[in-house]
Chain A
Amino acid sequence: MKNETCHNNEVLLDAYYDGELSPEEAREYKSHLDQCPECAQTLRDYSSISGSLAELSRELQSGEGISLWPMISSRLEREHSVRRTKPVTRRMFLLRRPAWMGLALSAAAALILFFSGAFQSEKLPSNFCQIENISSPEHNYMIYQDKSDGLTIIWIME
């Protein structure tokens, strides 16, 4: 139970804790604290609260062990992942070209192939001749084919 003098001494306790008392006043109040457990406990509470506040202040400055950091960290991670997805978005835009562009490219490729001769077969010799079948009932025959221009001579022999 606090006595009457202690009630008045709360102002003194604040001044004592803050170091605002003169050395003489501080000694007198110290002797009071030795005799008054309630005021001594109040002073310990002040110290405890002050210590906790100082620790919190240190943690805020270092960024460790506080509940805000995970939240901030996760937010930063989300923003980073959004930045990473931006190129994909651009690629998707490229893939969604207008339909006529695909058609134009296909037609151009087909025309290039057509006019470059890709659909045409190889060049034939100037006198290319293919004998599909041949017969000479009463004669032998000899066939000459020139390797360069393909000229074919069928020589029927007597």
Chain B
Amino acid sequence: MRIIFCVIVVLFNLISNLDAAYSDNLEVTIDVLEPSEEPGKIAPGIQYLEDKINRSPLKYQNYMELASAFRSIPQGETGKIEFNLRQQLKLEIRPIDLGERKVKFSLKIWSGGSLILESDLTLVRMGTVMVGSPGNPDLIIAISEGF
């Protein structure tokens, strides 16, 4: 009976260690897109977003890639990303919990110096979340895990 109990404990340890064996850093790719009504092909750098955008309610004719950044942010630290575009964008990303299948992080976005979004998100590994930033024109910030 004790041996069976030990086997069960070992199996549960294996399961829980799968999370711990994953990267200790939150690796994120941030793409800033400018939607437009001008017909054209989607930029090669953001083709991985094409299918997601096409299935979304966003019905723009085209999307230009204005900027892109990649960060590997250790847990407990805050990654800061700034884009000097027509409207200055600043992002702060702080990992909260990095699991095997999901990551939880804090996200803050400033546009033109004012805080426009403060949120805690849990995102599936290799998943994408998009934020539409108001402006002229509007901007779309795609935050993807693991690219």
Interface set of A (CB-CB < 8 Å, partner B): 102-103, 106-107, 110-111, 114, 119, 124-139, 141, 144, 146, 148-158
Interfacial chain A residues near B119, Cβ < 8 Å: 131-135, 154
Output the least CB separation between A98 and chain B (Å): 13
Binds A, one of B68-76, B78-86, B129-137: B129-137
Interfacial chain B residues near A127, Cβ < 8 Å: 52, 124, 127-129
B interface, size bucket: 35 or more
Given A144-B57, A146-B55, A156-B133, verify A130-B121 contact (CB < 8 Å).
yes
Interfacial chain B residues near A152, Cβ < 8 Å: 129-130
Binds A, one of B2-10, B19-27, B38-46: B2-10
Q: How far is the CA of A80 from the CA of B102 in the complex (A)?
A: 69
Given A106-B4, A124-B102, A129-B122, verify A154-B117 contact (CB < 8 Å).
yes
Q: How far is the CA of A157 from the CA of B111 in the complex (A)?
A: 12
Given A106-B7, A154-B117, verify A149-B132 contact (CB < 8 Å).
no
Q: How far is the CA of A130 from the CA of B101 in the complex (A)?
A: 13
Say whether B130 contacts A153, CB under 8 Å. Answer: yes
Say whether B121 contacts A132, CB under 8 Å. Answer: yes
Interfacial chain B residues near A144, Cβ < 8 Å: 56-57
Q: Is B126 interfacial (CB 8 A cutoff)?
A: yes
- Most chain-B Cβ atoms within 10 A of its Cβ — which of A102, A132, A138, A157? A132
Q: How far is the CA of A144 from the CA of B128 in the complex (A)?
A: 13
Q: How far is the CA of A148 from the CA of B123 in the complex (A)?
A: 15
Interfacial chain A residues near B15, Cβ < 8 Å: 114, 119
Q: How far is the CA of A119 from the CA of B10 in the complex (A)?
A: 13
Q: Is B67 interfacial (CB 8 A cutoff)?
A: no
Q: How far is the CA of A124 from the CA of B74 in the complex (A)?
A: 24
Interfacial chain A residues near B58, Cβ < 8 Å: 153
Say whether B122 contacts A130, CB under 8 Å. Answer: yes
Say whether B117 contacts A129, CB under 8 Å. Answer: no
Closest B residue to A133 by CB, please name it: B120
Q: How far is the CA of A158 from the CA of B114 in the complex (A)?
A: 12
Q: Is B90 interfacial (CB 8 A cutoff)?
A: no
Closest A residue to B3 by CB, please name it: A103
Q: How far is the CA of A148 from the CA of B124 in the complex (A)?
A: 14
Interfacial chain A residues near B126, Cβ < 8 Å: 126
Interfacial chain B residues near A156, Cβ < 8 Å: 111, 116-117, 131-134
Given A138-B116, A150-B124, verify A157-B134 contact (CB < 8 Å).
yes
Kindly list the 8 A-B residue pairs having the minimum CB-CB distance in the complex, ordered from nearest: A155-B132, A132-B120, A128-B124, A134-B119, A130-B122, A158-B134, A127-B127, A153-B130
Say whether B134 contacts A150, CB under 8 Å. Answer: no
Interfacial chain B residues near A154, Cβ < 8 Å: 117, 119, 129-132
Q: Is B115 interfacial (CB 8 A cutoff)?
A: yes
